[in-house]
Amino acid sequence: MLNEQKRADASRTLASFAATALSWSQSGKRSYALLQLSSDGPLEAISGALPEARIDEPPLAVMAVRLSMAAARPAVFGALGGPGRPLGVVDAYLDGDGIIVEFDAQKTPLMLIVDTIDGELSNAPGRSIVPLVPLSDDNIAAFAAAALHAPQLDAARILERHIEPLLSREATG
């Protein structure tokens, strides 16, 4: 896990490759960043310059799962990180009273992760799931489409993405 100084050092290294960390978060044992690369982003060179970092392309989805009943944690952890875990799960680990799950949303949709968690909680409902790395518009839209049973939803229908540029424009006289 990176402290403030190490995050600043990593940010300077990223900047030397025309890359930026758009967000930082941390769990009990890891720091996470969503990177924005230049169009020809040199992933191998960045990996070489940050040897302790793991850079995933495409970026992984990372969720912190908090359960209201601690007794349900072993079953949820086993479903997310055990031998029968969903295909796209790269890692799952215990973090305090919760679980961190890292997964490739192109292989395992967010809805499957949520359904897996909720399936294990049928006798002990109550949970919160918080993304530690911002989700892509495509992942948000796919989750909304699945959760709402509305397959016509896609990333182009996420209104916030259309409104944000309008709100950030400077007022003209």
Q: Count of alpha carbons within 13 Å of 112, Cβ hemisphere only? A: 16
Which pLDDT band holds residue 154 (cuts at 50, 70, 90)?
A: confident
Out of 6-15, 96-105, 155-164, which region has the weakest mean confidence (pLDDT)? 155-164
Q: Which helix (H) or strand (E) holds 167?
A: helix 159-168
How far apart are alpha carbons 24 and 28 in whole angstroms? 14
How far apart are alpha carbons 15 and 10 in whole angstroms? 9
Domains, in order of start, for the chain: 4-49 (no CATH), 61-134 (3.30.70.100), 136-173 (no CATH)
Burial 103-116 (b: 16+ CB within 10 A, else e): bbbeebbbbbbbeb
Q: Which helix (H) or strand (E) holds 25?
A: strand 20-26
For 81-99, what is each residue's pLDDT tens digit?
999 999 999 999 999 889 9
**Would you state the structure tokens that stand for residue 125, as one six-digit string?**
């409902």
User: Over 80: is that where the pLDDT of 8 sits?
Assistant: yes
User: Over 50: is that where the pLDDT of 173 sits?
Assistant: no
Out of 11-25, 44-58, 86-100, 144-158, which region has the weakest mean confidence (pLDDT)? 144-158
